[in-house]
Amino acid sequence: MHDLKRMERREIRYTAHGRGATRPAFASAPIDISAAVLYDQVEDTIQDVAGDIGLWGGKAPQLLDKLAARMGKLADAPNSGRDYKQLTNAFHRVKMRTTPPQDRIIHGHCLNPECGAQLVGLPDDTMVTCQECGSTWAVAEVRRARRERMAGHYITGKPKLAAQWISQEIGIEIKRGDVSNWRSRGLLHPVETDVSGVWQWAKPELLACAEHMRLAT
C-alpha cells in the first residue's frame, strides 16, 4: 500500500528503459488517477473486512497492522471465507499495479470459451482472475491448456528466433543463450534441419522451459 500511495503521488513510476529495465521518474503533480482509484478501492475492502471483527474507521496501513494482530479472530468471523477472497484479490491488484511490466508474465488465455482474454500476472501466481469476464483459474491449468494448444506446432530457426518467439508469447525476456542452455541440458529436443545452425523447435517445450525458469527465479 505504501508503494501504491507513492505511485498515486507520482513520486515513483515504472517506465521502460534500455533493455527492459526500469527507472523511477519523479514529479510533484498531478496525481496518478488510476493509482488513486485503486488505493481507495482497496482501502474500502480493508475497512469492510476490518468491520467484520469490530474495527471501524481508520486508514488502510493502520487497519492492516490491527488485522495482522487479530488473525485468529478474523479466521473465526462468519464471513471469513469471503473476507479472505476479497483481501487476496485486493492485494494482488496492488502487487500487479506496483510491479514493473517486465516482471509480469503472460500465463495464457482465459479458459472461458466465451472469453479467451489474455491472462497477465506474476511468476509466483497460483490463481489468476480474468479482467474481462471475472473468471478465476488455476495458473497451472491455464499454462497446461496453452501448451496443449501448441501441441504439434513448431518454430524453425536459430536459437535467437526461438528466444524471440517465447519472449513475445509469455511477455518476458528470453535470450538466445537461454535456449541454447536448455538444449544442452536436454530440456529441449529440437530437430536439426539441412541448414547449419537451424533447428525445428517444439513450442510446448519452449513454453515449459520458460515457465520453469520464471518460477525458479
pLDDT at 190: 96
Contact 136, 127 (CB under 8 A): yes
Cβ burial 42-71 (10 Å sphere, 16+ → b, else e): bbebbbebbeebebeeeebeebbeebeebe
C-alpha cell at 61: 496501513
CA-nearest of 153, 137, 133 to 205 is: 153
Whole-number Å distance between alpha carbons of 26 and 29: 9
Cross-strand bridge partners of residue 21: 17
Single pTM value for the model: 0.69
pLDDT at 19: 39
pLDDT at 214: 60
State pLDDT tens for residues 81-137: 888 888 888 888 888 888 887 788 999 999 999 999 999 998 888 999 898 998 899
pLDDT at 82: 85
Domain spans in the chain, listed from the N-terminal domain onward: 2-102, 104-142, 150-216
C-alpha cell at 173: 525476456
pLDDT at 31: 77
pLDDT at 13: 67
Query: Which 3-state string (H, E, C) describes the chain?
Result: CHHHHHHHCCCCCEEEECCCEEEECCCCCCCCHHHHHHHHHHHHHHHHHHHCCCCCCCCHHHHHHHHHCCHHHHHHCCCHHHHHHHHHHHHHHHHHHHCCHHHCEEEEECCCCCCCCEEEECCCCCEEECCCCCCEEEHHHHHHHHHHHCCCCEEEECHHHHHHHHHHHHCCCCCHHHHHHHHHCCCCCCEECCCCCCEEEEHHHHHHHHHHHHHHC
Average pLDDT, the chain: 85
Q: Calculate what percentage of the chain has a pLDDT beyond 90.
A: 40
State pLDDT tens for residues 54-69: 888 788 888 888 888 8
